[in-house]
Amino acid sequence: MLFSNRLTPLFCCWLYLLAITGLKAHPGDPSKEVFFEHISVDKGLSSTSVYAITQTWDGFLWIGTQNGLNRYDGYGFKSFNFIPGNSASLSNSWVKALAVDKVGNLWVATSSGLNRYHRETESFTSYFHHKPQKNSLADNNIWNLFTDKEGTLWVGTNNGLSKYIPAKDHFVNYYIPSQPGQQVSNAINAITEDNDGNLWVGTWGSGIFKFNKETGEFRNFTDITSIQAAAGLYVKVLKYDRKGNLWIGTQDTGLHTYNPTSRQYKIFKKQAGDINSISDNGILSLLEDSRGDLWFGTHDGGINYFHSSNASFIRYQTDFLKPQSFQGHWVPCFFEDNAGNIWVGHDNGISKFNPGGMKFQHFKNNPFDENSVPNSNISLLYEDNQGIIWIGTWGASLSKYDRQKDTFTHYKHDPANKRSISDRRIWGICEDAEKNLWVATSSGMDRLDRKTGTFTHFNDIYKDNPAAQIGFPALSSTAIDNKNRFWIGTWGGGIYIHDPQNKTTTHVVHNPDDSNSPSNDRIKHIFIDSHQNIWVSTSEGGLDKIVIKTDGSLSFRHFRYEVSQTQSIGSDSPQIVFEDSKQRIWVGTEGGGLSFYNPGTDDFQRVHIRQISSILNSVYGILEDEAGNLWLSTNNGIIHYNPVSGHGKGYDITDGLQGNTFLSGHCQTKDGAMLFGGHNGFNLFYPQRITESTFKPPVLISELRIFNEVIEPGRAHKNTYAGESPVLSRPLYLSDEINLSYKDYILSFSFTCLDFTAPHKNKFAFMMENFEDEWNFTDGSKRFATYTNLPPGEYIFKVKGTNSDGLWNQEPAAVKLIITPPFWQTWWFRTLFISIILVIVYSLHRLWLQVKFENLLAMERVKAQEAEAIRKRVAMDFHDEMGNQLASITAIVNLINIRQSKKEYYIEDLLSRLTQHAQTLFYGTKDFIWSIDPKSDKAEVILLNIKDFGEDLFDRTGISFHFSKDIQDPGLTFPSGASRHITLICKEVFTNIVKHAHCQTVQVRAIADDDQLRISIKDDGCGFDRTLLKKNGNGLENMRSRARKINADISIESHLNQGTEIVLTILIPRKGEDKKKLILDFSN
């Protein structure tokens, strides 16, 4: 039971009456079934009591409440209230009326003064009544604002009518003159204008008056005295419609209409028991929408739509069973926005609806009305040959819906009645060739007798033929092929194929050892295409295609989901198979979206539907319209898909769907209507009647955040680096340029699209020009763009958006962004920096030249010292060696001359000695000249000279000579003069070996690395006792003396009869080492 027995009968009766009167707005006019969207204080509205609504030229919606003025952008509110001590705030927070004048100014009427809004500063200028000033407002308590056809603002106050004069920024006041014998009220509650430009005003206490704007006179014409009497004295609303009728809403005497041409009037009042009468006699508001339809707001009866064809009303009142019903009672205002949405202000906030009615007609269960859908869980929808809609549910058996009569008939399962339907859970319906209706349930197959409304169970038909019976009762689907054979799917028992002509039933089940069998025994859906291929959807077993061969046997082709293959079905749980008008096969899957069969490759391809931002996981139903578009019922609403373009459009609960999640029930009627079922009933609609809005909404950049702090216009912010100056001088959406510091490195822009139809469906594209080359796309759930560490420079942030139907406004909102660089990146700093660098470079260049000059002088001094050292060395060497030889030669020559003078002619010994000294002088001079050649400073040349000398010397003495070298750096060079000392040391050693070693072999090995050159001279001669070595021998001392001059060391290792090894180790000068010390050492 829906309600417990503790509910009183009176309360249940009240619920019943409310349900039957409020659930369906108007059975005969489904176009006026309205879906209301409600917005109240829980979404940011400042008060539940709403008195006025309007829209300014920039697209914002303004809502006047008992607690302030609210600006709405479709996603949130900004409130304006009276602030004590702030003359730029509202004069009072109780907003009674709103109007926009001919230049776009927003006027706000309150219970204490009139206000003009300045959007540049988001402030107000207030106007009050001042007795001494005749051009002040007529009264501070304002009831109504009206802008006439010329754009003039009229103010209905509690004490007269005021006209605003913009040029002088003051008012001209008009008062209704007193009537003979009675006091006239000047409380102006209502103002309207006729086709002749006359104003009509309704008063609180004195009825209706006609006002001539030219003369400023009020007149009470005799032709409406009867209306005055009928309407009473208390008028709440006046409106001339497009047909010239004057509508008069009164405090408690109903709705009146008057035609000035025919002078006919009519009164509409609430009639007890007549739901087609107006719902309340107190009429507070009236709207004629862009379609010409009339809507009335009442004091305690909600909304009324006027049916002009039969002068009746459709009521829209609170219905606790329908969250989408109207949620108010007291309705003081209406407003139609730029996109055609109608807004209603009431005692519980504001509501919005589409005056054209729902795009999708919604049928749902009403527990108090038998003539409604039996259960909200619709598992099956089927239209038979007579146009009757059959509805299968998960728990309320079977129902039929006669669309012509708008009636429901229910067939319920009764365990005590064998002729009732076999189960409450319905899974399949089909008609055979004899037009019998067969129903597959969770307990078997039933045949319906349409005349009697009784059912015959399948197995009872074949009770005498058990072989033809269905052995597994839990059925899940059924279909009939062109030979009138039944294909029956079960949930766990495979497939039954029944041939009624032969009265045989074949059972086909899954065989794990036979691939030519069903892939799974849990069957979800069976579909037979135009080629008589049987498509079987299984649970977790993929999709099977069955081909009937000419011999009657079955051939199975299995399609499974492959993770890495896009050329596969989207899921192993296909839900529905559909063949379109071009004989293309489409498969809706659970968790894998939509798939398309490619007969060329005999495989499936997953379909990506463009422009669908919501998650499309499961497709439960597929239908095709006349234009070849597919309509899909999914886990996220209904999708309209164009197979040619690949584009899709989504519809959700805000469009009137039963919900965003659907079930498998769906069908298409012969007249083109589509039906989709879900957990909350089913929807019926005609695809060709669903039109898209052409409204291009304005797009605004609404908010700037720096370090996540909202930047308010006209205020400095502590978290920014703009100093005391405000970042914004006016609201961001009005700003052309923003200047920020490079230190403001985290900033966000919020944006909005002022189409209020379905803000969550609005799409956006944004781009930071000069930083990005491509648009970034987002939807209503993410209306902001964040940038970090933008380089200093100039940028343009752009945003464009769509309406709720996806139509783009290609004119983007834009704001220029200038990020100032740090001082070291400014032109003046760079100029100064470059100048300083040039000065420094020039100074360093001068210093470098000076140091270079001094270094050259030093080098010249070093060269002079080196030359001096070389000169001294040459002189000393020439004196020590060549000088001695020349002196010896001179002495020998003198001896020869003496002997010859004495007639002594035996001079052979002297000649031999002269020859010896001459040769010594020659080779010595040659070596000396070689040593002062710069080429002789290279290690390679030194070692080659040593090698040549050794080979020549030891070859003449019969001693075997072996020379080897290992030098890592072929360009190794020693200081000038070192080559002579190294060569002479080695020659001295070679000479001593010839004289004293008595050896057979001499080995010389030269090894050079990064630090030293090591020359080893080793013989295999007699050796000697090192203890007997004369420490002060001339030859050894000469070698050590030469070694010291080149920073070298000599070591001697010798043993008797084991040979001798002498090692000369010369330190290699490092790069950059001062050679001056070496030169001085050589000169010692």
Encode pLDDT of 764-779 as tens digits: 999 999 999 999 999 9
Taking residues 811-828, what's their average pLDDT?
91
pLDDT-derived band at 919, boundaries 50, 70, 90: low
Q: Domain residue spans in the chain?
A: 1-80+269-359, 699-825, 830-1083
Strands (DSSP E) found in 105-245: 106-110, 113-118, 123-127, 142-147, 153-157, 160-165, 170-174, 188-193, 199-203, 208-212, 217-219, 235-240
pTM score above 0.85:
no
Averaged over 481-504, what is the pLDDT?
A: 96
Q: What gap in Å lies between CA 813 and CA 798, rounded to an integer? A: 6
**Mean pLDDT (whole number) for 133-147:** 96
Query: What value does the mean pLDDT take over residues 818-824?
Result: 90
Tokens of 368: 């108090």
Per-residue model confidence (pLDDT) at position 182: 75
The pLDDT of residue 1070 is 63
Decide if pLDDT at 4 tops 50. Answer: no
Residue 577: per-residue pLDDT: 98
- pLDDT(66) > 90: yes
Regarding predicted confidence, which is higher, 980 or 340?
Answer: 340
Task: Decide if pLDDT at 460 tops 90.
Answer: yes
Kindly report the number of other CB atoms within 10 A of residue 1031's CB atom: 6
24 pLDDT band (50/70/90 cuts)?
Answer: very low
Contact 663, 656 (CB under 8 A): no
pLDDT tens for residues 872-911? 665 566 555 565 666 677 777 777 777 777 766 567 777 7
Amino acid 878: pLDDT: 56
Show Cβ contacts of residue 326 under 8 Å, excluding neighbours closer than 6 positions.
34, 36, 302, 303, 316, 317, 318, 319, 344, 346, 351
Confidence of residue 222 (pLDDT cuts 50, 70, 90): low
Residues 122, 110 contacting (CB under 8 angstroms): no
* Rounded CA separation 249/251 (Å): 7
Can you tell me the distance from the alpha carbon of 411 to that of 441, in angstroms, rounded to the nearest whole number?
13
At 358, the amino acid letter reads: M
pLDDT at 553: 95
Domain 699-825 is classified in which CATH homologous superfamily? Immunoglobulins (2.60.40.10)
Check residues 898 and 252 and name the one with the higher pLDDT: 252
Name the least confident of 335-349, 352-366, 924-938: 924-938
The mean of the pLDDT values for the chain is 88
pLDDT for res 386: 94
pLDDT above 90 as % of the chain? 65
Band (810; pLDDT cuts 50, 70, 90)? very high
Q: Does residue 527 surpass a pLDDT of 80? A: yes
Q: Residue 246 and residue 243: Cα distance in Å, rounded?
A: 9
Question: Comparing 39-43, 239-243, 298-302, 963-967, which segment has the lowest mean pLDDT?
Answer: 963-967
What pLDDT is recorded for position 421?
Answer: 97
How far apart, in whole angstroms, are the C-alpha atoms of residue 458 and residue 447? 7
Q: Which residue has the higher pLDDT, 85 or 205?
A: 85
CATH class of 830-1083: alpha beta
Q: Is 169 helix (H, G, I), strand (E, B) or coil?
A: coil
Burial of residue 513 (CB within 10 Å: 0-12, 13-18, 19+) is: exposed
Give whole-number Cα distances, 561 to 545, 604, 887, in Å.
15, 9, 114
Type and span of the H or E element at 665: strand 662-668
With beta carbons less than 8 A apart as the criterion, state whether 136 and 172 touch: no
**Residue 522's pLDDT band (boundaries 50, 70, 90)?**
very high
Q: Give, for 985, the enclosing helix (H) or strand (E).
A: helix 978-992
Give backbone dihedrals phi and psi of 189, rounded to 5 degrees, phi first.
-90, -30
Nearest to 588 by CA among 566, 600, 606: 606
Residues for the chain: how many in total?
A: 1084
Highest mean pLDDT among 170-184, 712-726, 731-745, 954-968: 731-745
Radius of gyration of the chain (CA): 56
At 187, is the pLDDT very low, low, confident or very high (cuts 50, 70, 90)?
A: very high
pLDDT score of 116: 98
- pLDDT, tens digit (0-9, with 9 covering 90-100), for 370-424: 899 987 799 999 999 999 999 999 888 999 999 999 999 999 999 999 999 999 9
